[in-house]
Chain A
């Protein structure tokens, strides 16, 4: 049996670990609060873009006469042969199953579309690492085109699944500008028919108790303002409870307050005839890329919030486990000490009796 001194040392070390996990939990809680605020601050913009597009669509004649579809390249549907998959994961670990769950869904998606060519765009270091181990990276070489401008031309693909880009650190300091660049690159690939569809895998985070992992189709657009969710994984009740518990102990509200929504819905939807500075078609074409951008930005802000929530929960569990361990170790230590005292008393008593 271990002696008292060893047990005391172990207890001290577990206590230290608990202190670290507790601190990490509080840090995550603070970051979660900020991420939630940012996700909320991004909502009016997204909402307004959606409303103005919906209202423009109603009043402007921008339909293709032949097909009846909206006359914009982003609405064109082609048979899906080449798919772009954007995977939004975290940049850091210590967040429980957060990153591995995302990777799992992404791999399932790839396996489910085995007959198609898939390009992967990895946002966040963790998913990039996971994909790099499995798939080849796309190779680009610089070539001059007929006008003499140098362009990056993609080499013939070596495998069906390739990594076309990664964006480590994008989420650590989320800037609208960088997300916009990504959106522009995706749109240009779609318009130039390099891809036939684009999907995004991310953690949707409406509030602490309402979150899920979703696969959302972002291109082609079918209807503005309607999420095209093609797959979703809801957390189990037990997981939800754990998150709620962790949030409560860290002093985070379960439901985020949201007041701007109503006002934003009205943007551009007044029942009057607008004067248009530009041709409505031009306005429409200018707004659509912004809509794609706002979808991406939305996915990323929510994913950041979800990551912090996951880390907070994981660290809360770790702290609880450490407390349990300290309790059981203390119990063992006390028993050992008592046993030692008892032995000593017996020795003294029997020694005295022998006299």
Chain B
């Protein structure tokens, strides 16, 4: 097959996805980006969010948390810390994580480190809930 990207998603525990695709949508740290066949080589850090892979037989959505991506003209390799299929996400647990993040955020005070850590937890939890199709409670 020509003009197809080979997309691979690797986590420390398993290789979650390894398939040909038309395009892939990535949650980079500074915003989403879409990669098509023939993209310039690129290295980027990933944030928390959904990776969407478009293939001829439909889309595959996977929730990833932090990692790195290497884009080559015909190959995309995603190195994620943690990746879940939407159906594997445990919403109550993600909500608990969100509460914990908010709690930390309030307690962070002036410590930048604690503040960033709390933000990280919050965005991770929010991405999980959104990807599983849950609604985020207002806070």
Chain A contacts to B: CB under 8 angstroms: 38, 41-42, 44-46, 48-49, 52, 56, 147-149, 176-177, 180, 260, 267-268, 270, 272-278, 282-283, 286-287, 290, 293-294, 297
The residue that B13 contacts in the complex, of A42, A260, A277, with Cβ under 8 A, is A42
Q: Is the CB of B42 within 8 A of A48?
A: no
Q: Is B17 an interface residue (CB 8 A)?
A: no
What are the residues of chain A within 8 A of B79 when measuring CB–CB?
A: 45, 48-49, 52, 267
Q: Is the CB of B68 within 8 A of A180?
A: no
The residue that A48 contacts in the complex, of B28, B77, B110, B111, with Cβ under 8 A, is B77
Q: Is the CB of A277 within 8 A of B41?
A: no
Q: Is the CB of B81 within 8 A of A277?
A: no
- For the complex, give the distance between the alpha carbons of A270 and B70 in Å: 10
Q: Is B119 an interface residue (CB 8 A)?
A: no
For chain B, the bracket of interface size reads 20 to 34
Q: How far is the CB of B65 from chain A (nearest CB, A)?
A: 10
Q: How far is the CB of B96 from chain A (nearest CB, A)?
A: 14
- For the complex, give the distance between the alpha carbons of A268 and B110 in Å: 38
Q: Is the CB of B111 within 8 A of A278?
A: no
What are the residues of chain A within 8 A of B138 when measuring CB–CB?
A: none
Q: Is the CB of B43 within 8 A of A273?
A: no
Cβ contacts B13-53/A at 8 Å (1 or 0 each): 11100000000000011100000000011111100000000
Q: Is the CB of B14 within 8 A of A267?
A: no
Q: Is the CB of A282 within 8 A of B15?
A: no
Q: Is B55 an interface residue (CB 8 A)?
A: no
Chain B contacts to A: CB under 8 angstroms: 10-15, 28-30, 40-45, 68, 70, 72, 77, 79, 81-82, 107-111, 114
Q: Is the CB of A283 within 8 A of B10?
A: no
Q: Is the CB of B15 within 8 A of A260?
A: yes
The residue that A278 contacts in the complex, of B45, B81, B109, with Cβ under 8 A, is B45
The residue that A283 contacts in the complex, of B11, B45, B77, B111, with Cβ under 8 A, is B45
How many CB-defined contacts (below 8 Å) exist between A and B? 87
Given A42-B13, A45-B11, A147-B110, A278-B77 contact (CB < 8 Å): no
Listed A/B pairs (20) with beta-carbon separation below 8 Å: A45-B10, A45-B12, A48-B10, A52-B68, A56-B43, A148-B109, A148-B110, A149-B109, A149-B110, A260-B15, A268-B43, A268-B70, A270-B72, A272-B41, A273-B41, A275-B41, A276-B42, A277-B42, A283-B43, A290-B81
Q: Is the CB of B11 within 8 A of A274?
A: no
Q: Is the CB of B70 within 8 A of A267?
A: yes
Q: Is the CB of A277 within 8 A of B44?
A: yes
The residue that B45 contacts in the complex, of A45, A272, A277, with Cβ under 8 A, is A277
- For the complex, give the distance between the alpha carbons of A39 and B18 in Å: 19
Q: How far is the CB of B15 from chain A (nearest CB, A)?
A: 6
The residue that A44 contacts in the complex, of B10, B43, B111, with Cβ under 8 A, is B10
Q: How far is the CB of A299 from chain B (nearest CB, A)?
A: 13
Given A45-B10, A283-B68, A180-B41 contact (CB < 8 Å): no
Q: Is the CB of B30 within 8 A of A277?
A: yes
- For the complex, give the distance between the alpha carbons of A10 and B9 in Å: 58
- For the complex, give the distance between the alpha carbons of A277 and B29 in Å: 8
Q: How far is the CB of B81 from chain A (nearest CB, A)?
A: 7
Most A CB within 10 A of own CB, among B29, B43, B107: B43
- For the complex, give the distance between the alpha carbons of A180 and B81 in Å: 9
Q: How far is the CB of A58 from chain B (nearest CB, A)?
A: 13
Q: Is the CB of B77 within 8 A of A267?
A: yes
Q: How far is the CB of A81 from chain B (nearest CB, A)?
A: 26
Closest 3 CB pairs between A and B? A277-B44, A275-B42, A176-B12
- For the complex, give the distance between the alpha carbons of A43 and B40 in Å: 27
Q: How far is the CB of B79 from chain A (nearest CB, A)?
A: 6
What are the residues of chain A within 8 A of B45 when measuring CB–CB?
A: 277-278, 282-283, 286
The residue that B14 contacts in the complex, of A41, A270, A275, with Cβ under 8 A, is A41
What are the residues of chain A within 8 A of B11 when measuring CB–CB?
A: 45, 176
The residue that A277 contacts in the complex, of B14, B15, B28, with Cβ under 8 A, is B28
- B77 to A, closest residue via Cβ: A267
Q: Is the CB of A270 within 8 A of B41?
A: yes
Q: Is the CB of B42 within 8 A of A287?
A: no
